[in-house]
Chain A
Amino acid sequence: MGMNLTLKVWRQNGSSDEGRMVTYKVEDVSPDMSFLEMLDVLNERLILEGDDPVAFDHDCREGICGMCGMVINGVAHGEQRATTTCQLHMRHFEDGAEITIEPWRAAPFPVVKDLVVDRSAFDRIIQAGGFISVPAGSAPDAHSVPVKKDDADAAFDAATCIGCGACVAACPNGSASLFTAAKITHLGLLPQGQPERDSRAKAMVEQMDMEGFGGCTNTGECTAVCPKGIPLDTIARMNADYLKASK
C-alpha cells in the first residue's frame, strides 16, 4: 500500500498571471518513486481529467543537468541535503503528508509557467567572463603545464556547480553569489585561468549586479541547499578577486 499525499502546487499561467496555490490529492505513491515521478503520475491523471498538467523543468533525472528545481516545503530542492529535486525520493516523506511545491522565486528568474522559470541570467553571467579564451586547435600539449593536485581537486569541486539556481532561490537577498563564485573559483585556481583572472572576476560580478541579483550577506542558505555542496568560501575568493581586480 502506497502513501497518500496532499500537494499544494503553485499554478501560474505566464509571467503576467498573478498565480495561486492549488491543492491536489495523490494516492498510492510508492516510496521508491522519485519526486518527479510522483508529479508524472499526477500529470497523467490531470491530462485524462481534461485539466492542464503542472509544468516543470526536468531533463536528465539523474542530478547533473541542473534543469529541475522547485521549492518543496519551503526548501529549494527539498529538505534532503545535497540532492536535486529529481533525485529526491518519496521514501523521505510521511504517509498523509501535505507538501507545498513552488517555483524558484527571484526577480531575475521570471516565472514562465507554474514551476518553470527563466534562468537565462545565469548564461549571461557566464558570457561576461566565465571562460578561458582558447580557440579550438590552439592549445599546447596537455602536459606542458602541470597543475598541483590540490588545486586541480579544489577547482573540480567548484566546477561541479550544475547551474540549477537553488542558491538564488534560497538566498534572502536573491543573490547569485554562490553560482558566480563557483565559476570564478574553478577557473581562478588553475594556471590556465590566470591571464583573465582579474577581468573575469570584475566582469562576472558586474553582470551579476546588472541582472538584478542581490548582494551577499553571508547568510549561507545557498550552500545549505546546493545539491553539489559548493562551499561558501568560494564567495570569499570571488570577493578577493573582485577587490584586487577593481584596484
Chain B
Amino acid sequence: MSEQETHGYKVGEPIKDTKAPEGPIEGRWDKRRFSAKLVNPANKRKINVIVVGTGLAGGSAAATLGELGYKVKSFCYQDSPRRAHSIAAQGGINAAKNYRGDGDSIYRLFYDTVKGGDFRARESNVYRLAQVSVNIIDQAVAQGVPFAREYGGLLDTRSFGGAQVSRTFYARGQTGQQLLLGAYSALERQIAAGTVEMHTRHEMLDVVVSDGRARGVIVRDMVTGEIETHLADAVVLATGGYGNVFFLSTNAKGCNTTAIWRAHQRGAMFANPCYTQIHPTCIPVSGDYQSKLTLMSESLRNDGRVWVPLAKGDARKPADIPEDERDYYLERIYPAFGNLVPRDIASRAAKNVCDEGRGVGPGGLGVYLDFADAITRLGRDAVEKKYGNLFEMYERITGENPYEAPMRIYPAVHYTMGGLWVDYDLQSTIPGLFVIGEANFSDHGANRLGASALMQGLADGYFVLPTTIGDYLAGATAFDEVDEEAVTQAREAVQQKIDKLLSVNGTRTADSYHRELGKLMWDYCGMERTEESLRKALERIPELREEFWNNVKVPGDPEGLNQALERAGRVADFFDLAELMCIDALHRTESCGGHFRAESQDQDGEALRDDDNFAYVAAWEWGEDGPTLHKEVLDYEYVKMTQRSYK
C-alpha cells in the first residue's frame, strides 16, 4: 500500500527555501535587516495592516507597527487587549544578558534552545531569537515593567528548566502579566495616537485571500453578531496555540484554533501539529466538571523536590512517610539536572511513576512537590517572598496549605510548539499572511524550554516582524484591488457555518462534544502515542465530528451576544485540527521532545529520535480529500545533533 493509503495523506514537493540568509549564523539577522526593503515613511501612512490577537506577540506587533507609522487594525475576542493568555505566564523570560557572569551568552541560549527543542527547530531562527532576547529586556524595563531587583538596584535572575545558567528575568510569579501590560500600554498609546484602531470582542472567522495574497479578515462582532469585512495590505495572525483541542489544558477558556485553522484551509501550511507540550507542574483534576487546569510555574522546581512513595499504593499522609521510603525520582534518574530537567522529561517521568501505581491523591494521578527542605534551608519568609502568590493560588484551588503539606502536581497540556508554517520572515505560505508567537511553529522545535514563550512572543512582535513585514509591504502600493468575489465567498462560508450550527438543534451541547474529543486526544494523542492509539483516534474523530454536526444543540440567534454559538464554532474547528494532529503524530514514527512514540524509546525509556528519517519540519497542506505533506529538511551546521542527556 502507498503511504497515502496507510496514513491518509499524500507527499508533495519539499520546501526548499526558508529565506534565511546564508553565511555565518551571527550575521544572518543583520544581513536580512539590511537586505529588507524599507517603506517610505509617507507611504506607511497609506498601508494597512491587520493584527489579530493581542497577547505578547500581537500586542507588541500592533504597537510597534503603529509606532512605525502604518495604519493598523487590531482585533481580540476579549473585552480588552490587556487580557490575552500571555498574561497567565508565571515564571519568567529568558535573555542572554549574562548579567550574572555565569558563562551565559547568545550562543549558549541558542545552543540550549536547539538542544531543548530536540533538534527539530531551525538554527537560523533560534539564533536570531537569542540575539534579540537582550533587546526585549531593555525594552520592557524602559516601559516600566517592574522586574524583580536586588538590593543594589540591578535586575535579579533565576535559573529555569533545561538551563544551567541564571538567565530568567521575572516579576514575582506574574512575569507574563507584567510584560503583557507593558505591551498593552504601548498599544494603548498608539490607539490614543490614532495609528491603531482597536476592535475588542471581535472574533476572526476567515481570511480574505485575493490574487494569492492575504488581504483581509472576516470577523464576527460578538456583541451584535454582525459579520464584518476588514481589508488590508497584510494580515498578521497572533492568535496563540491550540492546546484547548484537549478541552482540559492550562490555556484560557477562549483560546482556540479557529483563526489559524481557517488560514490553513485557505492555503497556509500547518507545521508539526503533533508537537504539544505537557507541563509537568499543574494542579491535578478534581472532578468531571473540571473546566480547565491550572499551572504552577515550573520555577517551583528550583526549590521544590519531586517525589512519590517508594512502595506502590502507599496511602499514608506524606508527612508520615520517612525519607528512606520516598523516591525523589528526578534526582535519582537525572543526577546532573535533578528537578530541573526539561518539561517533557519531567512530565513523562511523572506519568511513569503513576503508571507504576505510586501516584498520590485522587485516582493516583499526582506526585508530590515538596518545599519542606527549602523552608528549612531558606526560611518560610524567603520561600513566601519567592513563591507566595503561587502557594496562595494552590491553596485557593485545593483547600490545602503547601507550607504544611507538599503540593500535589500532575502534567497537563500547556503549549503547542506546532502552528502555521512560516519562513525566516515569519511569513506563511500565503503571501501577506504573517504568523507570530505561539500561533507559528518556528523556534521551539519539538519542545519549548521554560521562560522561552514570552521571549519568542515579544521577539516576534517588537523586533522581527516589524522589520520583515516592511520588505513585503514595500510593494504594497502596487497591489491590485481586492477581488469582490473573494470577499463574498469568504463571508458566505462564515455565514453558512453559523446558520448550520444554529439549525441542527440536537441533543448534546458543544461543550460535551469538546470534552469527549479532548479526552480522546489525551488518551490517544497525549503524553504517549502509539500507532494503535493514533489509529483508534483517527477512526473515532470523524465519527464524533459527524455526530457533532448532526446532533449538537446551539441555542439562540446569530444576532447579539451568543457565547454558546462562539464555543460551538471553535469546537467544530478543533475536530478538524485533531485529525491532522493524529495524522502528523502517526507519520512521525520517531520520538522527539514533546512527541513521544512508545515504539521509539531507548533502554532507559527516553525519547529516541530517528534523525535519518525525521530531521525535517512536517508542513501540511490542506486538501478536501486529505492533507499533503511537504518536508522542510533541517540542517544543523552549528549544534551537533546528539541524543539529549540530562543525566
**Segment touching A, from B142-150, B351-359, B624-632:** B142-150
Interface presence of B507 (CB below 8 A): yes
Interface presence of B560 (CB below 8 A): yes
Does A136 contact B462, Cβ atoms closer than 8 Å? yes
Does B181 contact A192, Cβ atoms closer than 8 Å? no
Residue of A at shortest CB range from B81?
Answer: A123
Does B174 contact A131, Cβ atoms closer than 8 Å? no
CA distance A146 to B85 in the complex (A): 30
Does B289 contact A47, Cβ atoms closer than 8 Å? no
Residue of A at shortest CB range from B290?
Answer: A37
Does A57 contact B79, Cβ atoms closer than 8 Å? yes
Give B135-166 as 1s and 0s: 1 = Cβ < 8 Å from A's Cβ atoms: 10111111110111111111100000000000
**Segment touching B, from A148-156, A218-226, A234-242:** A148-156
Number of interface residues of A (CB under 8 A): 79
Known contacts: A44-B512, A134-B139. The answer to whether A59 contacts B144 by CB under 8 A is: no
Q: How near does chain B come to A106, taking the closest CB pair, in angstroms?
A: 15
Interface presence of B131 (CB below 8 A): no
Residue of A at shortest CB range from B83?
Answer: A65
Known contacts: A65-B87, A137-B135. The answer to whether A156 contacts B172 by CB under 8 A is: yes
Known contacts: A37-B291, A47-B553, A134-B139. The answer to whether A61 contacts B252 by CB under 8 A is: yes
Does B188 contact A126, Cβ atoms closer than 8 Å? yes
Known contacts: A61-B252, A159-B178. The answer to whether A149 contacts B142 by CB under 8 A is: no
Does B511 contact A40, Cβ atoms closer than 8 Å? yes
Does A62 contact B294, Cβ atoms closer than 8 Å? yes
Q: How near does chain B come to A213, taking the closest CB pair, in angstroms?
A: 16
> What residues of A have a CB within 8 angstroms of the CB of B397 in the complex?
34, 87, 89
Does B137 contact A142, Cβ atoms closer than 8 Å? yes
**Segment touching B, from A3-11, A48-56, A94-102, A166-174:** A48-56
> In residues 100-159 of chain B, which contact A (Cβ within 8 Å)?
135, 137-144, 146-155
Known contacts: A136-B64, A137-B139. The answer to whether A89 contacts B399 by CB under 8 A is: yes
> In residues 11-45 of chain A, which contact B (Cβ within 8 Å)?
13-14, 30, 32-34, 36-37, 40-41, 43-44
> What residues of B have a CB within 8 angstroms of the CB of A91 in the complex?
399
Interface presence of B253 (CB below 8 A): yes
Most buried by A among B67, B289, B392, B553: B289
Interface presence of A60 (CB below 8 A): yes
CA distance A48 to B512 in the complex (A): 11
Q: How many A-B residue pairs have CB under 8 A?
A: 222
CA distance A52 to B554 in the complex (A): 10
Give A117-161 as 1s and 0s: 1 = Cβ < 8 Å from B's Cβ atoms: 011101100111011111111111111011111001101100110
Could you say which of B67, B88, B153, B171 contacts A148, with CB atoms under 8 Å apart? B153
> In residues 40-93 of chain A, which contact B (Cβ within 8 Å)?
40-41, 43-44, 46-48, 50-53, 55, 57-67, 82-83, 87, 89, 91
Does B78 contact A67, Cβ atoms closer than 8 Å? yes
Interface presence of A190 (CB below 8 A): yes
> What residues of A have a CB within 8 angstroms of the CB of B188 in the complex?
123, 126-127, 130-131
The dominant DSSP class at the A interface is: loop
CA distance A112 to B561 in the complex (A): 8
Most buried by B among A65, A155, A156, A186: A65
Q: How near does chain A come to B94, taking the closest CB pair, in angstroms?
A: 14
Does A139 contact B563, Cβ atoms closer than 8 Å? no
Does B80 contact A64, Cβ atoms closer than 8 Å? no
Does A112 contact B223, Cβ atoms closer than 8 Å? yes
Residue of A at shortest CB range from B186?
Answer: A131
Interface presence of A181 (CB below 8 A): no
Q: How near does chain B come to A147, taking the closest CB pair, in angstroms?
A: 5
Most buried by A among B171, B252, B399: B252
> What residues of B have a CB within 8 angstroms of the CB of A153 in the complex?
146, 149
> What residues of B have a CB within 8 angstroms of the CB of A118 in the complex?
79
> What residues of A have a CB within 8 angstroms of the CB of B97 in the complex?
142
Q: How near does chain B come to A193, taking the closest CB pair, in angstroms?
A: 5
Does B147 contact A152, Cβ atoms closer than 8 Å? yes
Could you say which of A30, A47, A112, A140 contacts B509, with CB atoms under 8 Å apart? A47
Residue of A at shortest CB range from B173?
Answer: A64
> In residues 442-491 of chain B, which contact A (Cβ within 8 Å)?
462-463, 466
Known contacts: A65-B252, A163-B80. The answer to whether A60 contacts B138 by CB under 8 A is: no
Residue of A at shortest CB range from B555?
Answer: A47
CA distance A120 to B144 in the complex (A): 23
> What residues of B have a CB within 8 angstroms of the CB of A230 in the complex?
none
Does A113 contact B560, Cβ atoms closer than 8 Å? yes
Interface presence of A201 (CB below 8 A): no
Give B353-395 as 1s and 0s: 1 = Cβ < 8 Å from A's Cβ atoms: 0000000000000000000000000000000000000001100
Q: How near does chain A come to B593, taking the closest CB pair, in angstroms?
A: 26
Interface presence of A208 (CB below 8 A): no
Does B253 contact A58, Cβ atoms closer than 8 Å? yes
26 contacts between A and B (CB under 8 A): A30-B286, A30-B289, A37-B290, A47-B509, A47-B553, A48-B509, A55-B563, A60-B83, A61-B252, A62-B294, A66-B82, A83-B396, A87-B397, A91-B399, A113-B560, A118-B79, A123-B81, A127-B188, A128-B192, A131-B185, A136-B139, A137-B135, A142-B138, A142-B140, A146-B153, A160-B177
Residues on B lying within 8 angstroms of A by beta carbon are 60, 63-64, 67, 78-85, 87-88, 97, 99, 135, 137-144, 146-155, 171-172, 174, 177-178, 181, 184-186, 188-189, 191-192, 198, 200, 223, 252-254, 286-287, 289-292, 294-295, 392-393, 396-397, 399, 462-463, 466, 507, 509, 511-512, 553-556, 560-561, 563-564
Given contact pairs A65-B88, A118-B79, a sample of 6 additional A-B residue pairs in the complex whose CB atoms are under 8 Å apart: A55-B563, A58-B253, A126-B188, A140-B142, A148-B153, A163-B82
